[in-house]
């Protein structure tokens, strides 16, 4: 299926730094989701966004649904070692459609 | 809330041997069910999805097949494994909303 363009592909940062990653698409999505996958585990839903312009926080995580409905970003503030993993964005156009996933951002945090 | 069980967690199989991976869901009824494959360090590739018992849609041609014998059971099979079938297999379910929830995954190594 169609892939969302997720960037960066990987990040290696120092503990305490802030992190930003984003997803873009040439098509409109009506729902944006952000998942985190720990090594050897299945992805876990972090944040779900349902309205254009919506800004939602979950602890140190903040995600926004772009106004154009063609992009979304995820920020992590004050990173810690347990933030290590692969972060995936996903979009859904309409009810009943499949989720389209981005290629993932691999985050590595140096203590 | 739903719980997704996948087994086994890891599997090493010789080339040419058959495969059967099972996924069961608890806490919901009539879910949409999905099988994804993830190559090492890569994104999620949708293999199959099912909207009901006996209803299977394939997203990519491959050496694998899927079946849904019961409402909350989804099985991924192969008659003869290839080396290229190695990967991390994830079962996921959708329960009416736009989100998908993942199992813990099965790491398959074909030797």
- CB contact set of A16 (below 8 Å; sequence gap of 6+): A78, A79
Q: What are phi and psi of A24, to 5 degrees?
A: -130, 155
- Provide, as residue numbers in chain A, all residues whose Cβ is less than 8 Å from the Cβ of B98: 30-31, 33, 48, 50, 92, 95, 99
For B24-34, what is the mean pLDDT? 94
Q: What are phi and psi of B110, to 5 degrees?
A: -100, 125
**In Å, how far are A4, A28, A108, B11, B110 from B14, measured between CA atoms?**
35, 44, 34, 10, 5
pLDDT at A2 over 60: no
- Provide, as residue numbers in chain B, all residues whose Cβ is less than 8 Å from the Cβ of A98: 46, 49
For A80-107, what is the mean pLDDT? 91
Give me the pLDDT at residue B42, please: 77
Half-sphere CA count of A7, side-chain side, radius 13 A? 4
Q: What is the pLDDT of residues B3-26, one digit of tens each?
A: 999 999 999 999 999 999 999 999
Q: What is the pLDDT of residues B48-104, one digit of tens each?
A: 999 999 999 988 878 999 999 999 999 999 999 999 999 999 999 998 788 899 999
- Provide, as residue numbers in chain B, all residues whose Cβ is less than 8 Å from the Cβ of A35: 102
Query: If you measure CA to CA, which chain B residue comes closest to A90?
Result: B99
Confidence of residue A94 (pLDDT cuts 50, 70, 90): confident
For A95-102, what is the mean pLDDT? 82
């Amino acid at each position: 299926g169609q892939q969302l363009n997720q960037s960066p592909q990987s990040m290696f940062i120092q503990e305490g730094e802030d992190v930003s990653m984003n997803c873009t698409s040439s098509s409109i999505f009506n729902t944006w989701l952000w998942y985190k996958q720990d090594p050897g585990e299945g992805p876990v839903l972090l944040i779900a966004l349902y309205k254009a312009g919506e800004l939602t926080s979950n602890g140190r995580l903040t995600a926004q649904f772009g106004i154009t409905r063609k992009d979304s970003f995820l920020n992590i503030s004050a990173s810690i070692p347990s933030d290590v993993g692969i972060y995936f964005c996903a979009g859904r156009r309409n009810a009943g459609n499949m989720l389209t996933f981005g290629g993932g951002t691999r985050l590595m945090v140096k203590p | 809330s739903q719980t997704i069980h996948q087994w086994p967690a890891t599997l090493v199989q010789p080339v040419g041997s058959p495969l059967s991976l099972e996924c069961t869901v608890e806490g919901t009824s009539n879910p949409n069910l999905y099988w994804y494959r993830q190559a090492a360090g890569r994104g999620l590739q949708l293999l199959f999805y099912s909207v009901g018992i006996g209803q299977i849609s394939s997203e990519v041609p491959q050496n694998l097949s899927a079946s849904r014998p019961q409402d909350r059971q989804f099985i991924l099979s192969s008659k003869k494994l290839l080396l290229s079938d190695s990967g991390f297999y994830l079962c996921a379910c959708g329960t009416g909303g736009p989100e998908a929830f993942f199992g813990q995954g099965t790491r398959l190594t074909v030797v």
